[in-house]
Structure 1
Amino acid sequence: MKKLILSMALIGATTLAFGQKKVVKSASKNYKKGDLEVALSEINAATQDPETSEDPETYFIKAQIETKMFGSDSTNTAQNFEIGKSAYETFMKSFEMAGSNKEDGIGEDIWEEDVVGVPDNLRPYSINTLKNTSFDKAIERYNEDDLEMAYHFFDLAGDIAPQDTTIHYNAGFLANDLGMYEEAKKHFNMLLEVDDYNKLNTYYFLVQILSGQDENPEGAYDMVMAAREDYPGDKILAEYEIQLLLQLNKMDEAMASIQNALKNDPNNASILLRSGYLKEKSGDMEGALEDYKKSVEADPEFYDGNFYTGALMLDRAREILAELNALPDDEWEEKSESMGKAADDYYEQAIPYFTKALEIQPDNTDVMEVLFQVHTRLKNEAKAEEYNKKLIELKGPNWIEG
C-alpha cells in the first residue's frame, strides 16, 4: 500500500512538472504570436514554480518577451526604460544560471548577434537585440531633446556592450552635459579600457571633471600625467599639467613644465600667461610683464593676456606712488615730478590693454571701472565721463559707492 501511495505521489509530481513546462511552452508560443502580456503573465508564473524556476531557459524566454515589449513601445519613457532594464537583468540571470558561457547552449542564444534591419521574425531577440533597441531609443530621445532619457537608454546599451566606444562616449558626453558627473566618469573610464581607441577627448573630459566638479587637483594631475604618456606631444595636456601644478602650488615643477612647453610651442598665449604669472609670484616683475605682453602678441584677442598686462602695469604705477608718498618731505619735493611721471607712464601704457579687454568682453563692468579710474587719474575727463555713463546705465547712478 505504501508503495502504491509513493507511486501516486510520483505521478502527481511528474504531472505538475509537466504542467509547468506546458506553461513555459505556452508562454513561448504566445511570445512568438505577439500576445506579449499573456506570455509575460505565463512566464512569470513559471518563474515562481520550483520545477521551472531553476531552468535558465525560463528566464531566457522571459527576457525575450520583455525585450519585445521594450521594442514595441515607441513612447520611450521612463516606464518603457524600466522594461528594458528588467530584460537586461533577466538575460543576465539566465546567463549566470546557464554557466556564463557565451559559446554554448543558452549562453550562446542569449548573446546571439542581432542584425539591424532584418525582418522582425528573423531577429533573435537576444541581449544584443536589447542593446540595439536601447541605442535606437537613445538616438530618438536625443533628437527630441530629452537628454536625460537619452542618457539612460545609452547607459543600458553600454551595460551590455562595455567595448562599444560610440555608446560609452555618447553616454559620458550626455552625463557630463547633464551634470551627472559620477555617471560621466563611469563611461569615460570604460573608454580608457578599450585598446586602440583614441582616448584624447576622454582624458580632457576626465581632467575637467576631476579638477572642477570633484575639486580633486591631485587626481586630475595624475590623469593628465597618464594621458601625457599616451599623447606626449599634445599641447592642451601640457597646459593642463601647468595649470594643475600651479593649483597644487608646485611652482618649481610648474616652471620646468612651462619652459619645456614653450620650447615646443613658443607662441602659446596661455602658457606665456602662466609663465608671466609664475614670474610675478617669484618677484620678477619685469620678466612677468614681458611674458604677459608676449601672450597678447601671440593672441591679440586673448582677454586674460590683455587684462593681466594692464593690471601689472597698474600695480607698478601704484608701487611707484606708494614709494613716493613714503619719502620724507624734502625727497618728495625733489622726486615727485619724475616719479609721478613714471607712474603716469604705466597708467598710459595700461589703457590700450584694458580697452582691448573691454572690447573682448564689452559688458565687463570691472574693466569699465578700471578705465574710469585710470582716465580720471590722467585727467582725461571726456573718456572718464564716457565710462561713467556706461556704468550708470549698467549699474545705476550710485555705482561708484558700491
Structure 2
Amino acid sequence: MKKQILMASALLVTAVAFGQKKELREVAKNIKKGDLEAAQSALNQVKQIATANQDYETEYYFLEGLLGFESAKKGRDVMNSLSKASQAFTKVRELENSQKGKFTSQIPLKEAVDLATQQGTSAYERKDYKNAKKAFEQVYRLSPQDTVFLYNAAVLAVQDKDYDTALKHYIELKNLRYDGAETLYLAKNKQSQKEETFTSKNQRDLMVKSGSYINPRTEKTPSKRGEIVKNIALIYVEQGKNDQAINAFEEARKAFPKDATLVIAEASVYLQLNDRNKFKELMEEAAKLSPENADIQYNIGVINMEQGQLEAAREAFKQALKLRPNYTDAVLNYSTTYINEGNALIEQMNALGNSKADIKKYDELGQQKDMLYRKAVEFMEEYIKVQGNETSVLEQLKNVYGALGDTANFKRIKALLE
C-alpha cells in the first residue's frame, strides 16, 4: 500500500511539472503573438509553483522579463515595465550564473538597454527628472558594467529632490569604487567654430585629417569619487545627520588618502556647516596635495578675505592667477581686497570731527584710501592689457575710477563697455 502511495505521488509531481511546462509555453506563445494580457494572466497562474521549482524558476523569470520588455516597447506603463524587466533579467543571470546560460543568452539586452536609454534621454530633455532617473537606473540594472548610468540616476534624483534615492545610488557607487574619470577627445568644428567631443582618438584624428576640424586636444576629466562622497555627506547634512556626513569622509579618506578632490569635497561640507576655519584648514591641505589646482588657491583667497586676512588672500589670488592667467574671479577678488581696505578707511573718516587734528587725519586717511584704490586699478588695468576687455573687470574698473573722481579714465572705460 505504501508503494502505491509513493507511486501516486511521483505521478502527481510529474503531472504538475508537465502542467507548468505547458503553462510557460503558453506564456511564451502569447508574448510572441503580442497578446500581452493573456501572457500576464498565464504567468500569474503559474508563478507560485514555477518559482518554487528549480527546473522552471529560471524560465519563469526570463518570461516575466520578456513580458515587461514587450510591454515597455508598446508604451504600456513604460517605467514600471522596464523596472520589472530589469529585475527579472537580473534574477535569470543570478540563477544561471553564466553569460552563456540557456536563458541568459536569450535576453534581448541591447534592445532593452537602448529602449531604457531612449526613455531616460527623452525624459531628461523634457526636464522630467523623476522618470529620467528611473530609466537610467534600469539601464544600469540591465547592463551593470555601464556604471555611469547609475551615476546619472543619482544626479537626477538630487535634481528631483528625491534625496533618499540619491543617497542609495551614491552609496552603491561608493561601494563599487566608481571613479568616473574619462578621457575626452576634442576638436573644433571649422564651420560652427564650436568644440566637439568624439568617441575615440581615432575618430577625432580622422576628422582632423579630413580638414573639417582643427585644434585637436585630449582632456582627462577628474575622478568623481570626491563628488560622490561629498554628495553623500551633503545629503546627510540636509537630513540633519552631520555625524554621518563627517564619518563618510573619514572612511573615504582612509581609502584614498592622497585624493585632493575628497579633501575639497569635505571642505565644502564644513563650509555648508559654517565652520570656516575647518574649511580653510582643509583647503590648505588640498593645496599641498594638488599644488597646480587654481580653484583651491582661489578658495583659500576667498576664505582669507572673509576673515580679514587680506595679505594672505592676495597671495592666494596671485597664485591662482599664476596657475590660470585668465582667472577673472581671482582678478576681481584681488582688486576687491584693496577696495574693501579702502572702504574701511571711509568709515574711519566719517567718524572724525571738525577739529584741526581731525581734519588733518581725514586728509591722511583719504590719501591712503586713494592709494589703495589705485593699487586695485593698476592690477585690473594690467589684466585687461594681457587678457582683453573682460566685462566684469571693466565694470569694477569703471566704478573705482568713479570713486577716485578720475573722470577721464571713467569715460574711457565706460566707452569700452558700450
In which range does the TM-score fall when normalised by the shorter chain?
0.5 to 0.7
Within a 5 Å distance, the mapping from 1:71-150 to structure 2 comes to 75=73, 77=75, 79-87=77-85, 110-115=95-100, 124-126=102-104, 129=107, 134-141=112-119
- SS of 1:167's equivalent in the other structure is coil
CA gap of 1:76–1:388, structure 2 versus 1, over 3 A, is farther
User: Deviations along 1:329-376, whole A, 9 cap, x unmatched?
Assistant: 312432444432221121112125556599799555xx6654333111
Partner of 2:22: 25
Contact 1:317-1:346 at 8 Å conserved across structures? yes
Deviations 1:15-53 (A, max 9, x none): 9x9599547515416726974556872673474479957
Asked if the contact 1:280/1:288 (under 8 Å) is kept, the reply is: yes
Amino acid in the other structure paired with 1:124: K
Letter of the structure 2 residue corresponding to residue 375 of structure 1: Y
The aligned counterpart of 2:206 is none
Which residue number in structure 1 is paired with residue 146 of structure 2?
Answer: 167
Residue 278 of structure 1 deviates from its aligned partner by: 4.2
Contact 1:134 1:154 in 2 (8 A): no
Q: Which has the higher strand share?
A: 2
**Is contact 2:253–2:259 with CA below 8 Å preserved after alignment?**
yes
Q: CA deviation at 1:229?
A: 1.9
Deviations 1:257-289 (A, max 9, x none): 344444444554333334344444544333333
* Cα shift readout 1:119-178 (whole Å, capped 9, x = no counterpart): xxxx733498266653343345567786766753442354467xx3x3333222244157
Judging changes above 3 Å, is the alpha-carbon distance between structure 1 residues 215 and 249 closer, same or farther for their aligned structure 2 residues? same
Contact 2:82 2:116 in 1 (8 A): no
1:309 maps to 334
Q: 2:230 is matched with which residue? A: 207
Match of 2:273 among 224, 227, 248: 248
Which letter maps to 2:248?
A: M
Q: 1:315 to 1:91 in 2, by over 3 A?
A: closer
Give the partner amino acid of 1:137.
L
Name the structure 1 match of 2:168: 186
Aligned to 2:38: 41
Distance 2:74 2:146 in 1: 17
Matched, 1:155 2:153: no
Change (3 A) 1:213 1:352: farther
* Separation in 2, partners of 1:50, 1:220: 43
Please name the residue that 2:377 is paired with. Answer: 351
Deviation at 1:313, TM superposition (A): 0.6
Partners of 1:211 and 1:175 lie apart in 2 by 13
Do the aligned partners of 1:168 and 1:187 also contact (CA within 8 Å) in 2? no
The 1:255–1:86 alpha-carbon spacing in structure 2 relative to 1, beyond 3 Å, is closer
Q: 1:251–1:347: structure 2 CA closer, same or farther, 3 Å change rule?
A: same
Partner of 2:368: 342
CA distance in 2, matches of 1:289, 1:234: 26
CA contact (8 A) 1:158 1:167 kept: yes
Name the aligned partner's letter for residue 294 of structure 1: Q
Separation in structure 2 between the aligned mates of residue 269 and residue 263 of structure 1, nearest angstrom: 12
1:285 to 292, 310, 325: 310
1:326 aligned to which of 351, 358, 370: 351
* Alpha-carbon separation, structure 1, partners of 2:361 and 2:298: 34
> Unaligned 5+ residue runs, structure 1?
1-10, 96-106, 116-122, 394-402
CA RMSD of aligned residues (A): 4.7
- Asked if residue 235 in structure 1 is aligned to residue 232 in structure 2, the reply is no
Structure 1 distance, partners of 2:87, 2:229, is: 29
Distance 2:271 2:398 in 1: 32
**Distance 1:233-1:42 versus aligned 2 partners, 3 A rule:** closer
Match of 1:275 among 288, 295, 300: 300
Q: Distance in 2 between matches of 1:352 and 1:174?
A: 48
Asked if 2 retains the 8 angstrom alpha-carbon contact of 1:311 and 1:350, the reply is yes
Residue in 2 that maps onto 1:375: 401
Measured after TM superposition, the shift of residue 314 of structure 1 is: 0.8
| Cα gap change, 1:212 to 1:310, in 2 (>3 Å) | farther
Give the Cα separation in 2 of the matches to 1:304 and 1:50: 63
The corresponding residue for 2:65 is 67
Return the index of the structure with the highest Cα Rg: 1
Q: Cα 1:131–1:113, aligned 2, differ >3 Å: closer, same or farther?
A: farther
SS of structure 2 residue aligned to 1:373: helix
Q: Which residue pairs with 1:120 in the alignment?
A: none
Aligned-pair CA distance for 1:305 = 1.9
Where structure 2 has 5 or more consecutive residues not aligned to the other structure, the ranges are: 1-7, 181-222
CA-to-aligned-CA distance 1:204-259 (integer Å, 9 cap, x gap): 13414753897479455443333322222222223233333344343444444344
Question: Structure 2: how far apart are the matches of 1:379 and 1:54?
Answer: 86
- TM-score where L is the length of structure 1: 0.66
In the alignment of these two chains, the number of paired residues is 353
Q: Following TM superposition, by how much is the alpha carbon of 1:59 offset from its aligned partner in structure 2, in angstroms?
A: 6.2
